[in-house]
Amino acid sequence: MSAPLTTRARAKVNLTLRVHGRRTDGYHELESLVAFAGIGDALSLQPGPDLALTIGGPQGAGLPVDDANLILRAARTLAAEVAGLRSGRFHLIKRLPVASGIGGGSADAAAALRLLARLNGLPPDDPRLYRSAAQIGADVPVCLDSRTRIMAGIGERLGPPLTLPPLFALLVNPGVPVETAAVFTALGLQAGQAAPGAGSPALAPSETTAGLIAALAESGNDLEAPAREVAPVVGTVLAALCALPGCRLARMSGSGATCFAIFDDCRASAAAGRALARLQPGWWVKATLLR
């Protein structure tokens, strides 16, 4: 038996998120500066005749192992694009909270596509991978190579990879799943309606950490206010982050409830994480580097 193929499914963090409006087909037009954390899930693929999935890890309890899981959906979607696609048994070690705004399921689906591409000799930029990713979910295309870039439209338009200065971050989730659809409903845009400020210019990333933090502070996440309506604990998390010594910026990622804070260095972010974990032992708290 050949050795399994392995990859990481890194957490996606929306440093900024602007909603430009809602299209007539009901989808929302977004623009987001997306970075990736040094933490994530782990996915392996044991080549074999039957497609299957098993799940373990601290966040894996209760997750579906049928076609409701994005990993298997990714495999079946790519199989429709690539005749004779080889697959096998996936095993996911789930470390990221579910329904948490950091793309856990999307990152897992993108990881599955990467493993299937390796198994079948597909190049990383094969357009069939991106077509499959776009069919699975809005965050899956940007998670395919997990590199910092601007994501726009409904996730299908990706800017070139960007190199950011180091961002020492603390990711925090209060253990409350937040459904994306509920947040967009609370946003309240009607089909065909533009959002206020939709024509404002995009963020221009800075080459220095201080400059980038200043630029980020001038932007925001348009889903934060509706997410607070759906899950008021988001406001509690943000207040706790802002109160930590050395916090330079605190913001929600995606549609929540995971929030992040930026610090000057890894020592400050690690110390803040230890302090917050003592105050809130039930929260998921991870210090990491965003890049």
Q: What is the CATH number of the domain that holds 221?
A: 3.30.70.890
Do residues 148 and 41 share a domain?
yes
Same domain, 218 and 244: yes
Residues 154 and 31 in one domain: yes
Cα 265-266-270 angle, rounded to 5 deg: 125
Domain at 101, CATH number = 3.30.230.10
Position 236 scores a pLDDT of: 98
Q: Which of 41, 108, 139, 222 is catalytic?
A: 139
Structure confidence at residue 42 (pLDDT): 98
Return the bridge partners of 13, or none: 35
User: What pLDDT is recorded for position 261?
Assistant: 98
**Nearest CA to 13 among 138, 98, 141, 103?**
103
* CA 90 centroid distance within chain: 21
The confidence band for 208, taking pLDDT boundaries of 50, 70 and 90, is: confident
- Look at residues 141, 158, 175 and tell me which one is the last residue of a structural domain: 158
Say whether both 71 and 131 belong to one domain. Answer: yes
Among 40, 33, 46, 51, which Cα is nearest to 5's? 46
Q: Angle formed by the axes of helices 70-81 and 104-120, to 10°? A: 40
Residue 78 vs residues 74, 85, 116, 157: alpha-carbon distances, Å: 6, 8, 8, 20
Q: In this structure, what token pair is assigned to residue 117?
A: 């591409």
Instruction: Quote the number of domains for the chain.
Output: 2
Around Cβ 222, how many Cβ atoms within 10 Å? 22
Mean pLDDT, to the nearest integer, of 259-288? 98
Specify whether the CB–CB gap between 30 and 155 falls below 8 A.
yes
Q: State which of 158, 177, 198 marks the end of a domain.
A: 158
pLDDT tens digits, 17-34: 999 999 999 999 999 999
Q: Are residue 154 and residue 17 in the same domain, yes or no?
A: yes
Integer Cα distance of 150 and 75 in angstroms: 26
Q: Is 139 tagged catalytic?
A: yes
- Establish whether 125 is a catalytic residue: no
The whole-angstrom separation of Cα 31 and Cα 9 is 22
8-28 per-residue burial string, b: 16 or more CB within 10 A, e: under 16? bbbbbbbbbbbbbbbeeeeeb
pLDDT value at position 202? 56
- CA–CA dist 203, 191 (Å, integer): 26
The answer to whether residue 234 scores a pLDDT higher than 80 is yes
Catalytic residue among 12, 41, 94, 286: 12
User: Does residue 183 share a domain with residue 140?
Assistant: no
Whether residue 227 sits in one domain with residue 282: yes
- At residue 32's C-alpha, the angle toward residues 195 and 226, to 5°, is 50
Closest to 247 (Cα-Cα) out of 273, 281, 220: 273
Confidence of residue 5 (pLDDT cuts 50, 70, 90): very high
> Residue 204 — pLDDT band, cuts 50, 70, 90?
low
Does 207 score more than 80 pLDDT?
no
Share above pLDDT 90 across residues of the chain, in percent, rounded to a whole number: 91
- In this structure, the answer to whether residues 234 and 265 fall within a common structural domain is yes
What pLDDT shows up at residue 185? 97
Residues 71 and 106 in one domain: yes
Q: What is the mean pLDDT of residues 161-189?
A: 96
The answer for residues whose C-beta is within 8 angstroms of residue 287's C-beta and 6 or more apart is: 168, 169, 170, 171, 266, 269, 270, 272, 273
Tens digits of residue pLDDT in 50-102: 999 999 999 999 999 999 999 999 999 999 999 999 999 999 999 999 999 99
Say how far apart CA 120 and CA 81 lie, in whole Å.
13
User: Which of 127, 158, 189 is the last residue before a domain boundary?
Assistant: 158
Mean pLDDT of 160-166: 93
Residues 65 and 151 in one domain: yes
Quote the DSSP letter at residue 193.
P
Q: Which long-range contacts (CB under 8 A, 24 or more apart) does 83-87 make?
A: 85/116, 85/120, 86/47, 86/116, 86/119, 86/120, 87/45, 87/47, 87/48, 87/51, 87/116, 87/119
Q: What distance lies between CA 13 and its chain's CA centroid?
A: 5
- Domain holding 201, by residue range, is 167-290
195 and 116 belong to one structural domain: no
117-136: pLDDT as tens digits: 999 999 999 999 999 999 99
For strands 259-263 and 249-252, give the pairing. Answer: antiparallel
Q: What is the CA radius of gyration of the chain?
A: 19
Instruction: Check whether residue 278 and residue 149 sit in a common domain.
Output: no
Phi, psi of 177 (to 5 degrees): -65, 140
pTM for the whole structure: 0.95
